[in-house]
Amino acid sequence: MGIRRCLVLAALGAALVATGAVRAQEVSPPATTTTLPSEVLRIVGEALRSGFPPAAPIDALACERCDYGPVCGPWEWLRTQRKPPERLALRSRLRALP
């Protein structure tokens, strides 16, 4: 769910509570909701600190759908196949997250 959609739903929910149409109820977020963002930031930070946040498209078609094509240049999929797997470990950890 995009952030804009979340904000719209939050505003709608607040309006419904304010008008008395619904009753507010506290719920605990699932553990992944609270830990996932910090894990993503930790991995991205680690990749940036390592000086190697690699472009590594998931497949040959990914770049065709991506706006960063002019930045990465052509054939990034093929170049990715030659990158040492151990240097792509952070990328793999990021993609393994739920």
Comparison of 13 and 74: residue with beta carbon closer to ligand SF4: 74
The answer to whether 39 and 97 are in contact (CB under 8 A) is yes
The answer to whether 60 and 79 are in contact (CB under 8 A) is no
Cβ neighbours, 10 Å, residue 58 = 11
Q: Please select the residue that binds ligand SF4; options are 47, 57, 90, 91, rule is CB under 6 A.
A: 57
The site map against ligand SF4 for 59-78 (x = CB under 6 A) is: ---xx--x-xx--x---x--
- For the chain, what is the total number of helices (H) and then of strands (E)? 5, 0
Comparison of 5 and 82: residue with beta carbon closer to ligand SF4: 82
Name the minimum Å distance from CB 70 to ligand SF4: 8
Distance CA 71, CA 74 (A): 9
Name the minimum Å distance from CB 68 to ligand SF4: 4
Q: Residue 39 burial (CB < 10 Å; 0-12/13-18/19+)?
A: middle
Q: Which of residues 28-47 bind ligand SF4 (CB under 6 A)?
A: none
Tell me which residues touch ligand SF4 (CB under 6 A).
Answer: 55, 57, 62-63, 66, 68-69, 72, 76
